[in-house]
């Protein structure tokens, strides 16, 4: 039986309280027959950035991706006020991920993930 896997990118982020932040992912696929890598058209998809607790059990922040492009980018902009509340004084580190939902909602994929550190 053949098994196919996919690599999901990991990147660790440093976020700064009170600054605007942009988190983006570039989704590409490789044709297994030809080896050619091409971007996935994301223009019909929806995406969401999530910031979670260190163990991943609590959702701390969720932001829709403002741009899903035809050349494979999912882009989420975090406004300066989003991470500046008092609750974020205790939330100095955790996990993040960007998930994409396909047209019709049937396909949900994690495009990238990692750990974040929040500093002043």
Identify the CATH class of 20-119: mainly beta
What would the mean pLDDT of 78-101 be, rounded to a whole number? 95
pLDDT of residue 2: 38
**CA distances (Å), origin 55, targets 18, 35, 42, 52:** 25, 36, 29, 8
pTM over 0.75: yes
The answer, yes or no, to whether residue 4 has pLDDT greater than 60, is: no
User: Regarding predicted confidence, which is higher, 62 or 29?
Assistant: 62
Q: Domain spans of the chain?
A: 20-119
């Amino acid at each position: 039986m053949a098994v196919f896997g996919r690599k999901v990118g990991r990147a660790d982020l440093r976020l700064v309280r009170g600054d605007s932040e942009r988190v983006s992912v570039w989704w590409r696929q490789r044709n297994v027959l030809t080896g050619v890598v091409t971007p996935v058209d994301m223009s019909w998809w929806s995406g969401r950035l999530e910031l979670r607790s260190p163990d991943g059990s609590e959702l701390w922040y969720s932001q829709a991706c403002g741009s899903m492009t035809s050349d494979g980018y999912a882009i989420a902009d975090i406004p300066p006020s989003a991470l500046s509340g008092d609750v974020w004084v205790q939330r100095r580190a955790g996990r993040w991920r960007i998930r994409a939902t396909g047209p019709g909602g049937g396909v949900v994929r994690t495009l990238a993930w990692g750990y974040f550190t929040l500093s002043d």
